[in-house]
Amino acid sequence: MLIALMPLILLRHKLANTGVRGRASFLLIVYERSGEYRLKNKDLVRTCTGSRKCGCPFKLRVKPVLGGEGWMMKLIYGTHNHETAKSFVGHPYAGRLIKDEKIGVANKTKSMVKQRNILLTLKKHNVNSYTTIKQIYNAKNAYCSSIRGSNSEKQQLVMLLDQDQYIHWHRLKDENVVRDLYKLSLLDIIGVTPTRMTFSAIFAYMEGERLNNVVWALQRFRGLFMKVDALLGVIVTDGDLALINAVKTVFLDATNLLCRFHIDKKVQAKCKTLVGQKMHGIM
């Protein structure tokens, strides 16, 4: 059921059959911004998000006319508690993707095209499109989920590594244990060529940035070198103490340097405290 009142859109509907004699079924239609946002994960605390829900009281009641020759509409509450929308941008129904657009998003996702570039392409082909970047992300996630099927992220990753014949290790007793990769710590090792080109050397998902986990990952990485004299001579890390201590344990002869970006952050933080103390003394 969709009723469009320019520039408002009523999306949510409820079909209720009372089952009581003398009371017919009816549709209770409210504005999409009615009610309050229901947090799916109550343990997750979000501080920088918003919601379209603002408790809008607008409500319509529609029921079939006796005899089944039409519908009768009754306005229960006809005012809104928010400003009138000036465009359809941000409305999920108005910005929905059609079938051809979903296929295009899937093809561009396989080609590793970024989401913002996918959106720009859609806007170029359809200047009247109300699609937002969030809907592109949702379409991409739906496509990735359809490929993964019933596999978890970890199971899909292991399958792709085996398929492309990558070298990989794990310490799990059960390979089919379902684990959320987004809750694990990521160790990513990047190499630099003499021409200042970067490449991905190894990555590891760890259950916490503990010393034994980082040492195990670096030992697997050290085992990939064919010769002892070809081991790394210089390793640049961030300020993580577990990583620094693990480098000293595994690569004994390597020089461990701190990343210039993290050095600048430390210097800026120290300067802010010193400047703040001096300004407080002047005042």
Quick: pLDDT tens for 78-100: 888 877 777 777 777 788 888 99
Residue 158 confidence (pLDDT) above 60: yes
Residue 33 confidence (pLDDT) above 80: no
Q: What angle do CA 21, 25, 27 make, to 5 degrees?
A: 155
Q: Tell me the mean pLDDT in the region 170-184.
A: 66
Assessment of whether the complete model's pTM goes beyond 0.75:
no
d(CA 44, CA 262): 29
Which pLDDT does position 3 carry in this prediction?
A: 38
Contacts of 87 (CB under 8 A, 6+ apart): 7, 130
Q: Tell me the mean pLDDT in the region 207-224.
A: 89
Q: At what angle do helices 133-148 and 115-125 cross, to 10 degrees?
A: 120
At 106, is the pLDDT very low, low, confident or very high (cuts 50, 70, 90)?
very high
Stated as kind and residue range, the H or E segment containing 32 is: none
d(CA 189, CA 139): 31
At 14, is the pLDDT very low, low, confident or very high (cuts 50, 70, 90)?
very low
At 42, is the pLDDT very low, low, confident or very high (cuts 50, 70, 90)?
low
Q: Tell me the mean pLDDT in the region 162-175.
A: 79
| DSSP count for the chain of H helices, then E strands | 7, 10
